[in-house]
Homo-oligomer: A and B are copies of this chain.
Amino acid sequence: MPKRKERGAATVTILDVARHAGVSPMTVSRVINGHSYVGEEMRQRVEASVKALRYTPNLAGRSLRSSGSARIGVLYSNPSAAYLNQFMLGVLEQGSQSGSQLLIEKCSGIRSQRAATERLLAAGVDGVILPPPLCDSRSAVEELESAGVPVVAVATGSPMDGVASVRIDDYQGARAMTRYLLELGHRDIGFIKGDPQHTPAALRAAAFFDTMKEAGLAVPPGRIAQGLFTYRSGLAAAEQLLKAPNRPTAIFSSNDDMAAAVVSVAHGLGLHVPEELTVTGFDDTPVATTVWPELTTIHQPVAAMARAAMVLIQDEIRRKRSGRPKAATHQVMKFTLVKRQSSASPATSA
């Protein structure tokens, strides 16, 4: 005697749907997954049953049968808590959806990096995702790839050949922001550079300079400050820029943490943001909506990028298992310019 229905709560399975629609479970499966050719009439019958029974597939069952049950590692360092949270959110979301198992390893410094890599390999990972700044670590990539483990680099400014990557176009992002500031009427714009060790920092700076140049505007050295992507470095950079004899009407910071610092310093100097000073950031991390005024910034879809990285790594794993060559896809995701309260046209009296 089958005991399929012993539980109190009726869990609708693919079999229930099949029975309801008067077809085989296979057909239901095909409809759900949008696979191959299914007769139009059947498709509709199945879809109606799915709806009527409120069926949602059990992912455990699916991933058990499909080869989705990969073991995926995430190796990170230098944790900006906010970024990492968002990133891991995407990774976990996609992971639980596809039934993959995740192994998270943190490292700091080259020695612990090697140890962490070893641990991942020992645990039998099928693929590894590298969020920034490890996405640019040749040593990490090489150690993993030479062990036959595919890698996906996330948010790198310079994707490596043969290594899959997901990123936004940092250059175009910074260009869009600079153009926006120009459109607002700003001509005298300060810029805070990011950590030179991080590849996207250079792209953001280059885009700023190029766009200013195209607009026929010179950027004197006094309008540039070096930052390290930290709030603290942003404080110093802001003071440098704002204590100049005649300050700029806008400051474009290479990330949000530093932009938040600029807002704080401006406030301290009695400058109203955005009436007397426009401040913009980059990344749209949670701090952008925490500070007041909220920051105009370039939204980097961190969670979506993490999800995309999971999809890419799973594809590489599948390819490897079936003996196909690497795809090494370079995926570029869309950024968006988010206008909030920290930006405005310069005061006419400036």
Contact = CB atoms under 8 A, between A and B. Distances in A.
B8 A231 contact: no
A56 B257 CA distance: 39
A227 to B, nearest CB: 12
A56 B124 contact: yes
A80 B291 CA distance: 12
Nearest to A267: B268
A260 B287 CA distance: 11
A280 to B, nearest CB: 18
Nearest to A148: B9
A24 interface: no
Nearest to A82: B286
Contacts of A102: 96
A54 B122 CA distance: 7
A230 B291 CA distance: 9
Contact of A320 (B9, B269, B291): B9
Contacts of A250: none
A269 B264 CA distance: 11
Nearest to A235: B292
Interface string A73-107: 00000001110011011001101100101100000
Most buried by B among A80, A270, A292: A292
A82 B231 CA distance: 16
Given A260-B291, A264-B267, 4 more contacts: A8-B323, A9-B320, A82-B290, A265-B267
